[in-house]
Amino acid sequence: MISMVTSNVRVVRSILAAAPHRSALRLLPSIDPRSSSLLQLSRSHTSPSLRTLAVVAARSSYSSLLSTEEPNMVKVKAIRVHELGGPEVLKWEEVEVGEPKEGEIRVRNKAIGVNFIDIYFRKGVYTKDLPFTPGMEAVGVVMAVGPGLTGIEVGDVVAYAGNPMGSYSEEQILPANAAVPVPSTIDHKVAASILLKGMTAYVLLRRCFKVEAGHTILVHAAAGGVGSLLCQWAKALGATVIGTVSTEEKAAQAAQDGCHHVIVHTKEDFVSKVNEITSGKGVNVVYDSVGKDTFQGSLSCLMSRGFMVSFGQSSGTPDPIPLSYLLPKSLFLTRPSLMHYTATRDELLAAAGEVFANVASGVLRVRVNHIYPLSDAARAHIDLESRKTSGSIVLVPDI
Ligand SMILES: NC(=O)c1ccc[n+]([C@@H]2O[C@H](COP(=O)([O-])OP(=O)(O)OC[C@H]3O[C@@H](n4cnc5c(N)ncnc54)[C@H](OP(=O)(O)O)[C@@H]3O)[C@@H](O)[C@H]2O)c1
């Protein structure tokens, strides 16, 4: 009898093996223990243990077959990059998203944060194998969890910022340990505008250099996504904040966001102006995300033993400087990446917790100034790159 059950399992298995995955799914009722021919055969036998064995065999044959089959593919739309270049290389295409494996979740994105780093990858300033889906920040709803995963459930709202790249997509697979819970009081678009930029501000102000009451700091691109959060947070810490911006409109925003002094760098030289504001003393720290156009000037703005935090290159990579350049004022220089400061789960949760707590307490007022359909990500890139934007930019899959 056992060999008979085994041979019938083989028959069912071979039918399924020959069928494509979706057809195999349709065959499920026919191999379901209640209706399968395998069980009908087994019912003709009097021994209950053999009948049970047949049920177990049928079930295990089905599940083992499913596990060797191609995973169920969910088809969604996403932005894809097949070649490096301008915003026109961002293509709106159908992609397949697999089911989450062990330690993974599948998330339906509700709002996707746009960051300058997305432009670096699109242009090839930072490299990634082609083709790829850009985007390093999103908030979404968990649609599926990998086998055996605990602590996260279907329906949870989560956010992530950093690796893996691929948030410009209606759905994506994420490692569960990259996702952080989003407080229910925080709107999806707000959360997607603030996690990466806010954690960056946290790392810059609390970990790279600890800003304290009485410090004077210089922030470039003070009305930008990261810049506006840096200014608000630094002011709340008791620092005197000097910001640089390109237009009067951005200057008004930077002033509202906590800048005590705003320099419109298109009208006045920021080095002389900082010198004037600080009575020749210089600032404790410069947060420079602009890079090539500002790097040398930023070093000149520092006081003795000041900190140069170069954390971006919106205008291009800064020219190299000899080490001896730091000597006249015993300067410190660091080039941090958020990823290195959120590398462990504890660090990630601490950084995200600080950001969400500061949003809840009102220290951080998030400017979601620009919302675009996900399919129109190219327009978001054009506007960010041409300095038309201020505050945060969000892409929404279903506008
Ligand atoms: N190291 C890290 O881990 C990390 C993490 C997040 C962000 N970042 C960096 O932080 C910076 C800000 O990112 P964000 O997403 O918040 O962008 P953003 O500041 O909103 O946008 C960039 C701003 O930079 C200024 N800018 C100066 N020269 C520019 C140029 N040639 N082209 C374009 N913009 C120029 C513009 O402000 P004005 O018009 O006022 O001059 C522009 O609005 C980026 O450099 C990014 O790479 C670094």
* pLDDT the model gives residue 66: 43
Rounded to the nearest angstrom, the distance between the alpha carbon of 314 and the centre of ligand 1 is 5
Nearest CA to ligand 1 atom 45: 312
* pLDDT the model gives residue 164: 96
Rounded to the nearest angstrom, the distance between the alpha carbon of 226 and the centre of ligand 1 is 8
Half-sphere exposure of 118 (CA within 13 A, CB side): 33
Nearest CA to ligand 1 atom 31: 315
User: Which of 387, 392, 394 best tests ligand 1's pocket when mutated (most atoms within 8 Å of CB)?
Assistant: 387
> Average pLDDT of the chain?
87
Sign of CA dihedral 118, 374, 380, 140: negative
DSSP state of 215: -
* pLDDT the model gives residue 64: 41
Nearest atom in ligand 1 to 293's CA:
28
User: Which has more pLDDT, 83 or 24?
Assistant: 83
* DSSP H or E segment with residue 332: strand 332-334
Per-residue pLDDT band for 73 (boundaries 50, 70, 90) equals: confident
φ and ψ of 356, to 5 deg:
-65, -35
Please state, in angstroms and rounded to a whole number, the distance separating the CA atoms of residues 94 and 108: 15
Mean pLDDT over 234-260 rounds to 98
Which CATH architecture fits 74-188+380-396? Alpha-Beta Complex (3.90)
Answer whether 298 contacts ligand 1 (Cβ < 6 A): no
Chain segment 164-222, per-residue pLDDT in tens: 999 999 999 999 999 999 999 999 999 999 999 999 999 999 999 999 999 999 999 99
Q: What count of other Cβ atoms lies within 10 Å of the Cβ of residue 292? A: 13
φ and ψ of 272, to 5 deg:
-65, -40
Pairing assessment for the beta strands 216-219 and 90-97 based on DSSP bridges: unpaired
Nearest atom in ligand 1 to 336's CA:
1
Q: Right CATH number for 213-335 from 3.40.50.300, 2.60.40.10, 3.40.50.720, 3.20.20.70?
A: 3.40.50.720
Cβ contact 102:149 at 8 Å: yes
Q: 55 pLDDT exceeds 90?
A: no
Answer whether 115 contacts ligand 1 (Cβ < 6 A): yes
Mean pLDDT over 145-152 rounds to 96
> The tokens of 313 are what?
């290159």
DSSP state of 250: H
User: Which of 289, 295, 342 best tests ligand 1's pocket when mutated (most atoms within 8 Å of CB)?
Assistant: 289
Sheet bearing 302-310, strands edge to edge: 261-264, 240-245, 216-219, 283-288, 302-310, 332-334
Total residue count of the chain as it appears in this document? 399
Q: Is 54 helix (H, G, I), strand (E, B) or coil?
A: helix
Q: 17 pLDDT exceeds 50?
A: no
β-sheet bridge partners, residue 396:
373
Chain segment 330-373, per-residue pLDDT in tens: 999 999 999 999 999 999 999 999 999 999 999 999 999 999 99
- Residue intervals of the chain classified under CATH 3.40.50.720 are 213-335
Q: 11 pLDDT exceeds 90?
A: no
* pLDDT the model gives residue 53: 42
Per-residue pLDDT band for 122 (boundaries 50, 70, 90) equals: very high
* pLDDT the model gives residue 175: 98
* pLDDT the model gives residue 33: 39
pTM here?
A: 0.85
Mean pLDDT over 160-164 rounds to 96
Please state, in angstroms and rounded to a whole number, the distance separating the CA atoms of residues 349 and 355: 10
Chain segment 263-307, per-residue pLDDT in tens: 999 999 999 999 999 999 999 999 999 999 999 999 999 999 999
User: Which has more pLDDT, 19 or 246?
Assistant: 246
Please state, in angstroms and rounded to a whole number, the distance separating the CA atoms of residues 24 and 20: 6
Per-residue pLDDT band for 399 (boundaries 50, 70, 90) equals: low
Q: 235 pLDDT exceeds 90?
A: yes
Per-residue pLDDT band for 7 (boundaries 50, 70, 90) equals: very low
Please state, in angstroms and rounded to a whole number, the distance separating the CA atoms of residues 196 and 33: 50
Rounded to the nearest angstrom, the distance between the alpha carbon of 335 and the centre of ligand 1 is 15
Q: 71 pLDDT exceeds 80?
A: no
Q: 43 pLDDT exceeds 60?
A: no
- Residue intervals of the chain classified under CATH 3.90.180.10 are 74-188+380-396
Q: 107 pLDDT exceeds 60?
A: yes
Answer whether 76 contacts ligand 1 (Cβ < 6 A): no
